Structure 1
């Protein structure tokens, strides 16, 4: 069987999701029997314009250079797969899109850099799918080695990859993890978050903060009303959704709703 040609590209990100490849350890030696890694800066392979079967993209579109590179990646790949929160929804960088909740991009640059005019950034930070066609999305901050292994195995076997979409609460129940919202009144986002992390935080008695992003058909308003019932004020509810996936449409809608309530209250 001819090896699949694979490239791993990085846009604006922390590089954490790329470690899902390197952290396979001895499993990486097995993987390279079936794939030919043509570009992977983190792994010391620099060949960004090589045509490949699968391009994995980490990171958000935050600069003009990101956008330019991404279009070339799409042209040179048969399949494009986004990995991690930054690539799938904009990630932490997309917090700058929330001008009502945080400072504008221009204000942020002025606060951090001595010469902000030399910093080339876009006004908004966007996910990869906003600019090019994406074939598959692997959510998570970061994605896990197991998650990446399952995805690659299914592709190599010629099967359509089955991606995680169900709610984290289902995994908690299967693991018999005690609900932290019920027992501790913790502001857990598990009921609107997709599984994939192994319900790590609830298993240690901590509330989920949705590093794996929104689940399929999440009822965010119902959860928000429950958070309000636990004593959280409007601004705190908005902040709870404004973390790794603030730019995901269902979360952004919730943030805007509760932040507008805060603004109305301040104007009265």
Structure 2
């Protein structure tokens, strides 16, 4: 089962593979590739070899459609098409489970290391996982200078830095403040609750509302969520008929959000994605997670 956080910081809620930490939008939508992921993977492969494990240096090829790329950057027509089908991306997977595979940026099974790991005995897989965690940390520190203790710690640090940069660079921008305020007034006029008019909060409010609904379902179902990192839980089991009702409400809210925020998103999303791309670059994002 997939572990999910409460919501991605940039409010897009994409799942990269089977991410165990808050996912963010792919850096590729803003361009500017670096060789750091490959350098990190080379260090990881050498480290794993020294620990007695076979490991292939591998950087996933992130696949994203042209429409999705435009939607990330605030194109109205692309966002409208996506929201008409997916809403904010919270309940659609329960109604159209086949879409989860199509929307994945890459799959863990694409990695040659997926097969290598699965050929090990249960005890060897545990040892492999511990070695890989240590080797990833070593690779990241050697290439970027960042010190992390685990994959979760890396994701936490990366998302915290994204949040800091978004707050510093976007929440005080006069143009975005004005557009966010107008968006909030419009949404209130349509009967939606708006707790904060700060630009970053406005970009996240719709997705957070429906993510909170899903989380309440998850925490009250029969799947134990104990032992997971803070803010994470196992995806709930939701009957298709029930999920379709949630999705219908979500789509309507997402389209209201877009209509009210058309100008806001066109100005906000390109800048927020650039911040995400820069921070991901600092952490050498793009490496294999298997």
TM-score normalized with structure 1 length = 0.27
Structure with greater proportional strand content: 1
Higher relative contact order (CA 8 A, sep 6+): 2
Structure with greater proportional helix content: 2
